[in-house]
Copies of this chain bind each other. A is one copy, B any other.
């Protein structure tokens, strides 16, 4: 049994995903950075096949995943030849790359009509027959609809100011599920609210499909969640939190545009009150773009708190993290868990899984919790659903 995957946005994350996946299949690397690699899942890593990929960057469309991987990673690792088989297709744009130094054009800009563009995508999907769609386009500005009629109306009136590429992709996935009667999974690894949008979650549920999202939890945010949980449990009263992030990949470049930065700030900051149970003055956001850092971002964090007898302690964390591989590793699990979930009738969205993997776990209004807690909750849930097919040991149980 295979997990057939289609990618939206063939950037660095997607490239790490496809390259790492092939290297894992070839036994060239260990499955580091794949959270569930140590468990026996119903879908092993090898069952994942990438069958399609979409982008709007003119310099990528028509190239094979191999060509793109050579460009991005060729001087760091050897690129598997098997990646030559999949070619990048033109996707939806809706200005998702506007303001960036990239020449981009979407199908809707070619056809001149958004609904035609969507139909073309759905046709495509019917040939590719994907089980799972992974959304890793650049961070874009978007507002949630929470109302299907309003969304459909914006779509029909071609009102690009209200729409985002991710929402249009999600609609195409929905249409594909509806028309062809297939239960599919949409993994939304960027901040656009989809698993947090009541309307999308409900409509996916109706077509027996699933959205996992939003915004993959890598890097500093989940670590901060666990550190705040750690401090809370010891009764330490947090006084202030500063967290700086700087990097040199396209995502950081994107985030120099203020309205995109605000998307990330929202998903990053939600953890503070959710985990601590009280709000604290904080500065948590992507801070800047520094090209030579490349994909290995620098994070600096300062947390001060009051301890017993009201003395003050402080903690400083500095990280050097490869941004894209971190997310790519999570996608390996999300793809295979996602397919197993819909097969077991889990539709709409799934908090148990989102709360570990996502910065802003859907459904809307859900609490961001310590990842360590979320992890074991998820493990037990996957075991109970027999997605993890083995006896497992939970520490202290």
Contact = CB atoms under 8 A, between A and B. Distances in A.
Contact of A283 (B240, B290, B313, B395): B290
A235 B33 contact: yes
Interface stretch (A122-130, A165-173, A184-192, A365-373): A365-373
Interface in A36-54: 36-38
Given A235-B38, A240-B292, A325 B300 contact: no
B307 A325 contact: yes
Contacts of A325: 307-309, 311
A71 to B, nearest CB: 16
Contact of A373 (B30, B300, B376): B376
Query: From DSSP, what is the main secondary structure of chain A's interface residues?
Result: mixed
A373 B226 CA distance: 11
A121 interface: no
Contacts of A31: 235
A291 B281 CA distance: 7
Contacts of A367: 395
A311 B322 contact: yes
Interface stretch (A16-24, A104-112, A143-151, A383-391): A16-24
Interface string A173-193: 000000000000000000000
B371 A230 contact: yes
Given A309-B20, A313-B320, A235 B396 contact: no
Q: How many copies does the complex hold?
A: 4
Contacts of A328: 308-309
A233 B308 contact: no
Contacts of A281: 290-292
Interface in A286-321: 287-293, 296, 298, 300, 302, 304-321
B329 A234 contact: yes
Nearest to A366: B396
A315 B325 CA distance: 16
Nearest to A31: B235
A313 B323 CA distance: 9
Interface in A5-38: 16, 19-20, 23, 29-38
B35 A237 contact: no
A289 B242 CA distance: 9
Given A313-B319, A313-B321, A240 B293 contact: yes
A22 to B, nearest CB: 10
Nearest to A374: B396
Nearest to A332: B308
A80 to B, nearest CB: 12
B307 A33 contact: yes
A230 B395 contact: no
Counting chain B CB atoms within 10 Å of each CB, which of A32, A352, A356 scores highest? A32
A156 interface: no
Contacts of A236: 32-33
B320 A317 contact: no
Contact of A369 (B32, B35, B374, B395): B395
A102 interface: no
Contacts of A352: 396
Nearest to A33: B308
A241 to B, nearest CB: 8
A315 B313 contact: no
The 6 closest A-B pairs by CB, nearest first: A33-B308, A308-B329, A300-B300, A240-B292, A308-B325, A369-B395
8 contacts: A77-B309, A77-B310, A240-B248, A282-B290, A283-B287, A314-B320, A352-B396, A370-B372
